[in-house]
Chain A
């Protein structure tokens, strides 16, 4: 009877012992996650306020990123996205610690990868923000300079420079996030080659007569 009973109870006991052993760790894990969540909220708030205080939002607005996001239906501006990324970084870090406490190494590994990726995204966003602002700045500078120097198509030249820089910046940002790798590099080479080829063609076709004239001057054909 007692055996039967013990047979019956033993697993339950073992379970309870296990639970008894697990419970504090779970509670600590939950506490860690909760604290992490709260810290995350604080971090988000502080980031938001801090970035706004240094007018980071003005920078991204001027860089055209906020407008870009807005056009894409995103309500938040870049500053908020950065704050959100930091929020999730902290939350994820808390989760990693929580799951680590529970010895759930597989989940921990998985989360760890995500956690390591978020900073890259953060940096990429910053690169994009400053890069885009720099692109606008160069655009303005070139446009104003060309206009003062009475060069035609000042705006076009400025625009070309700006998009060239934006392209570079986007590639750098993508590279930063390890997205695309070779494909991106190759695409870039193709684009550059394409542009050079297009220019060569344009000059070639447009300057045919001019080139002919020079050739004629250097190696004149025999006159009749």
Chain B
């Protein structure tokens, strides 16, 4: 059970040095997040209370803006004491408690290291200005007697500052400041400064801070005659800082803020010996530009200019942050364009940027907001999410400076947005109150309850991003489809390939992608886990809605959608050269000088072409075993009406399979296309090119099989004969216009291939030739012709093969086609996924779920119907009069024999578990308990019956049709011999099978959806409740519907037997999973554990 929890995610963050590669950072202001003491300003205690929210969101690091004591003239970036917490936000103890809580939730803590400058209120500056010029103390800052020094340096805050020098009347000198005049720059040429910085770093690292964001890092050092940015001396300082961390701490990180062009920022990674991460500033405005221009060029261009960074380094990317949307890293033309598009209101402009949040920039258009977020989360780098953007918060551009994007977090529609209970006047800033973005319409509480809200969408997005490391670590490669409005790129990390496609336009767009390199891979849409048709030779065509986007995993382990038909014959299909049609394979039927060729061709077919084809087929039973040879044991060339097929029985690894073949020639393109999905080989005969394919894909073949069944034909083969027999119902089912029926969908299943003909007939070809009476045919006939049971599929006929030595084997079965909505299994899984999807996104603790009986009312009604149909089936069997169906009394010996068998199987299964998965020790310890449990299963006290039964009854064996069920597939368990499925047994075996199927459905749905989900435990509990009510409903209805049929005295009397059969089924499942899907073993293991807990 634990292996289904959030383990992989926690691990990704925990793995010491590289957590920042996969991280999603949540950036927030202490003052803006949550106010615990109601003074109008957020604080650490408040933040600690909201850590659950942050964790639930799915991010894995919190980046705190400066929280140090400060005059707060620059939002805390003017630090006046590096070793303390601003009293408004709490105490150092509060901070320690917060770090502890964050770590407990697997969240990393990133703080600001603002060491380029201090506040002018900092004691260092106060001491410096008073110290005599040239003294040690004075030298902590950069002084000059005039303003002419460093003249080539640009001014950053053009709106407020006229010079980088400010006159200090106390010191009687100018001091250097790159930012506001109240923020004097520290002098890093003075070794004492660096030492002091080291002390500061050690102080916070020792408390447990995981990373520093290095503020304004390019400006540390100054040299005359340069622009004083990115100086080698600055890099030298950074290397020292990094060396300190590497020498003393593990798993810590440095994040550089360098608002520079990529080639300059690249320097801040050094050779992996400076910063671990750096912001990618130029990418951000270009993502906005790409959407505004509806052209991918801005993004592809800047990413092309981005140099490679050292292996262990990572970009940090963002859409919005606490500053303005900076346009420093765009050309002036581009800046004008951005201003026109996004800041038509002059009030929104500040410095060289736009002071707006994401939602207002996108005019609150959810599609565009989500598109941008999707780009952020899939581009190369670790994304940074600014607080409030997850709910689409707005801004207030009239608040001055950049305060408009720093307003209180909107928790609820209560007073002050639920942020604080202080008087609204006391708040550090007023919350957003306009009608669109105001806290009454945009807040966490409302969005948590709405499954389709921005917040819940974001959670799903982050959960999806976590499912692959390719997002954080993969190589980025842009595709260049002809349609420039589509931005498409691949993220590759090892074998993990993700394809991201985004439509930048405001209208739907088609695109053709060149994915040849990934031919054969199956794109799996990552949000809905929908499987798309596999990548082939042609460009991959997609259509995207306006501002839509897709993330696909190009999977090598996923099967193509079952409705997908290969329309083109793959080029790597082997080629066979025929010289005489079908006869080319038979050396005894060709002219003398071609005997050698025929022998060679047959060897190619048997040793190379067929094994390759068969190994890839679903119906090939021995999956683990490679196909060495497929030897044609018996065959006949069937010529009807100018058409010709080769019906062959091939022995594959000593097991006979039925393989009908057809030839399709190029001249008849439609025919070749229809055969494409079953193409075994490409063939050429002189100038004719075509395909050798499975005849089951051939419309003509299927029609002729039906006709032959209707006519009751016999077809002699080389060593036996094929017998086509109709049942009495043939005429009524097939009608008399078989020639007009169109071939419908061909479905490959585990044991057979089935075809629908014109919504009327259902033709099923069994692949493995199993001699003996086919129970499906026998029971189908019985139920249709004698019992008159309505909820099964009537049988119209069969094709049987008999050779001299053995009993006849059924090769094909013709049934009526019953329109249906798919099988119970897919219906149940879809239902559970929908249910979980709705449960997962709703995290509002106030909203309690109604009792499961109400929630699942509709599904329970179906389960009850299913139980009634099951009971009716058993009643029909109990009424049997002929020998194969006549019921027999269930004796005490029967029960004893069954118990002995189950006990034996239990021993075998335990031995198998020990052999295959020795680490699963918990079961071995419960061996005795298991055997006792089997022994405790009470035999019924009253009379009971043994009857024919379904034998392999589960949700996949019932079809849903207009809220009712049809029971299909009476073959029994495929791995057991036919004679065993025909033996009479207790009907409770079917009931036990269905109960196990509900359990499987629960786990499959959980595994598909909730793995690596933080809400796993909650969902697990809901799903357990579902299983409990469905079980109860099914059993109750079955007990009622079967009462009085004489199957047993009372349902309670046979509960012991039911448990026995459940154990039997679980053991069977365990063996099956060990052999076929070792990662699923935990499902039956867990089922077994539950059965052991159960009171008999």
Residues of chain A touching chain B, judged by Cβ–Cβ distance below 8 Å, are: 54-56, 58-59, 62, 133, 144, 148
Contact = CB atoms under 8 A, between A and B. Distances in A.
B579 to A, nearest CB: 12
Interface in B435-481: none
A59 B687 contact: no
B591 A62 contact: yes
A58 B687 contact: no
Contacts, number: 22
A182 to B, nearest CB: 36
Nearest to B587: A55
A54 B590 CA distance: 9
Nearest to B591: A59
Contacts of A55: 587-592, 595
Q: Which 9 A-B pairs give the minimum distances between C-beta atoms?
A: A54-B592, A55-B592, A59-B591, A58-B591, A58-B589, A59-B592, A55-B595, A58-B590, A55-B590
A73 to B, nearest CB: 25
Contacts of B587: 55
Contacts of B589: 55, 58
B686 interface: yes
20 contacts: A54-B592, A54-B595, A55-B587, A55-B589, A55-B590, A55-B591, A55-B592, A55-B595, A56-B592, A58-B588, A58-B589, A58-B590, A58-B591, A59-B591, A59-B592, A62-B591, A133-B591, A144-B686, A144-B687, A148-B687
Interface in B648-698: 686-687
B744 to A, nearest CB: 35
A76 B137 CA distance: 125
Nearest to A148: B687
A219 to B, nearest CB: 48
Contacts of A56: 592
Contacts of A62: 591
Interface residues of B, number: 9
A58 B591 CA distance: 6
Contacts of A59: 591-592
Contacts of B687: 144, 148
Nearest to B598: A55
Interface in B341-381: none
Interface in B547-602: 587-592, 595
A110 to B, nearest CB: 37
Nearest to B594: A55
A109 B618 CA distance: 76
Contacts of B588: 55, 58
Given A55-B588, A55-B595, A58-B591, 17 more contacts: A54-B592, A54-B595, A55-B589, A55-B590, A55-B591, A55-B592, A56-B592, A58-B588, A58-B589, A58-B590, A59-B591, A59-B592, A62-B591, A133-B591, A144-B686, A144-B687, A148-B687
A212 to B, nearest CB: 42
A144 B588 CA distance: 26
Contacts of B591: 55, 58-59, 62, 133
Contacts of B686: 144
Q: Chain B CB within 10 Å — which of A58, A62, A133, A144 has the most?
A: A58
A217 B588 CA distance: 64
By secondary structure, the A interface counts as: helix
Q: Chain A CB within 10 Å — which of B587, B588, B592, B595 has the most?
A: B592
Contacts of A58: 588-592
Interface in B519-536: none
Nearest to A63: B591
A8 to B, nearest CB: 70
Contacts of B592: 54-56, 58-59
A180 B592 CA distance: 33
A58 B590 CA distance: 6
B159 to A, nearest CB: 82
B582 to A, nearest CB: 14
B30 to A, nearest CB: 84
A97 to B, nearest CB: 34
Contacts of A144: 686-687
Contacts of B595: 54-55
Contacts of A148: 687
B601 to A, nearest CB: 15
Nearest to B595: A55
A171 B591 CA distance: 24
A54 to B, nearest CB: 4
B589 to A, nearest CB: 6
A36 to B, nearest CB: 30
B599 to A, nearest CB: 12
A56 B590 CA distance: 9
B1082 to A, nearest CB: 61
A153 to B, nearest CB: 19
A169 B429 CA distance: 112
A144 B688 CA distance: 10
A55 B590 CA distance: 7
Contacts of B590: 55, 58
B642 to A, nearest CB: 16
Contacts of A133: 591
Interface in B710-752: none
A157 B834 CA distance: 70
A192 B1035 CA distance: 93
A144 B685 CA distance: 12
Contacts of A54: 592, 595
A59 B587 CA distance: 13
A60 to B, nearest CB: 10
A125 to B, nearest CB: 15
A133 B588 CA distance: 17
Nearest to A56: B592
Nearest to A54: B592
A54 B595 CA distance: 8
A58 B686 CA distance: 20
A55 B594 CA distance: 9
A59 to B, nearest CB: 5
Nearest to A141: B686
Nearest to A147: B687
A107 B588 CA distance: 44
A147 to B, nearest CB: 10
B581 to A, nearest CB: 12
A54 B587 CA distance: 9
A210 to B, nearest CB: 35
A133 B591 CA distance: 10
A133 B595 CA distance: 16
Nearest to A145: B687
A54 B591 CA distance: 8
A144 B587 CA distance: 25
B685 to A, nearest CB: 10
A21 B58 CA distance: 123
A17 to B, nearest CB: 59
Nearest to B588: A55
Nearest to B583: A58
A148 B589 CA distance: 28
A144 B667 CA distance: 14
A133 B594 CA distance: 14
B689 to A, nearest CB: 13
A139 to B, nearest CB: 14
Interface string B796-807: 000000000000
A49 to B, nearest CB: 13
A59 B592 CA distance: 7
A144 B687 CA distance: 9
A144 B665 CA distance: 15
B585 to A, nearest CB: 14
A133 B592 CA distance: 12
Nearest to A60: B591
Q: Chain B CB within 10 Å — which of A55, A133, A148 has the most?
A: A55
A57 B798 CA distance: 36
A50 to B, nearest CB: 11
A148 B686 CA distance: 12
B414 to A, nearest CB: 85
Nearest to A140: B686
A94 B134 CA distance: 140
A148 B687 CA distance: 9
